[in-house]
Structures are given as structure tokens and as C-alpha cells.
Amino acid sequence: MDHVISGVAKFQRDVFPKNKEVFKKLATSQNPEVLFITCSDSRIDPNMVTQTGPGDLFICRNAGNVVPPHSNQTGGMTASIEFAVAALGVEHIVICGHTDCGAMKGALAPEALDELPHVKEWLGHCRGATEVVKHKHGSVGSEHLEEVTKENVLLQIQHLKTHPSVAGRLACKEVQIHGWVYNIETGEVLCYDAASESFKPMEECYTSDTAFKTAVGL
């Protein structure tokens, strides 16, 4: 904890003064372009990976970068998505999974989560991903972790589209959805390309004339 406390002191002493005008502007408003949904895993730092600063990303994090399908039961993710899209008017939504994801390991072996009943129930939102991989191979196990991680990103995108605020803006092409997988060891970020139905290196996805086409479902 000491390094966290000293980090606050360093921020106040060295970082904040150099960015005082930025924080002054952010003190009364925000205008993020991107809703970034990713895992709670401590190894993931959205701002570091995207090299963005305060006010650039509206970040939602939970175990497994899950987006529960829309329902009349209000939850934190549902409210946050609605606020980001309908109130803040974000133009892009990124769902970002990652390698060595503990949540995906749990989704692959739900029987091991009996002592973590809330985690087990939460990861029920990922079951469709494991079922897809199981159907492809006849069985599913730890050797399919990478494939399940990718399928989970696509599954959560499908869930995202059930949220009314998202569905309306998708229909009018006012928002784009992106599916990413971040490799912790290599730093590589793969993005889903709807045209080829595969995950590709980012440099192959985002060029000036194809960026829109790589947005999932558009």
C-alpha cells in the first residue's frame, strides 16, 4: 500500500501541476469519445494500452468484460452503458478481453467455482462462448482458453446490442462497436474484423478506408 500512497503524493507534486489546465476543464464536464469495457484484471490498464488520458475513455470494468443482456432489472453495467451512450453520446464502444483471463478459466470450469457462488453466477453470462467452442470441437477445456476469450468478446457484443440506447444508435450508424483482445505478454491487440469473421492485428484492421468496416455488425 505504501507505493500507492506515495504515488498519490507524486501525482499531486509532479503530474497535476503540469496538467492543471486539463484538470480545470475536466472539473466541470466530460466528453469521452469511447466507452471502454474491459476486465477487472489488475494487469489491464486501458489508458496505458491506448495511450489516452483523463477524459478520453469512459471505462467500465468487471470480471470477464461481461455485458449482461438488457433486462428490466437495473444493474451497474446497464446503467453505465445507458449513461455513456444516451447521455454522453460516445461514438465508439470497445469490448476488450485479454490473455490468461481468470474469468474465462472459470467459465471453462464452472464446477471449480462452487465456493465462489456470485462469480459462478456472473460467469453464466459467458456460457454461450464456451458452448460455441464446445460445439466446434466436441469438447472444451483449458487448451481452448484463447478461443473462448475471443468468443466471449463476440458474445458480449451481441449482448450489448440488446440495450435500447445502443440498438437505436447502431441503427442510425451513430455508434460503432469494436471487439479487441489484448495480449499481456506481447502487447499485441487483436481486433475483430466482421468481413473476415476473424481477429486480426490492429494494423490490419484500422486503416483510413477500412476502420468503419471493421466495426462489429456494421
Task: Identify the three-state secondary structure at position 17.
Answer: helix
> What do you get for the CA distance between the two ends of the chain, in Å?
45
CA angle 92, 52, 177 (to 5 degrees): 15
Q: Are 218 and 157 within 8 A, CB to CB?
A: no
Half-sphere exposure of 207 (CA within 13 A, CB side): 8
- Residue 95 C-alpha cell reads as 469490448
What CA–CA distance (Å, rounded) separates 148 from 207? 27
What CA–CA distance (Å, rounded) separates 42 from 177? 24
Q: Would the annotation count 172 as a binding residue?
A: no
Q: Would the annotation count 41 as a binding residue?
A: yes
What CA–CA distance (Å, rounded) separates 122 from 73? 14
Q: What share of the chain is helix, strand, coil (3-state, %, to 5)?
A: 50, 15, 35
Binding-site positions:
39, 41, 98, 101
Binding-site positions for Zn(2+):
39, 41, 98, 101
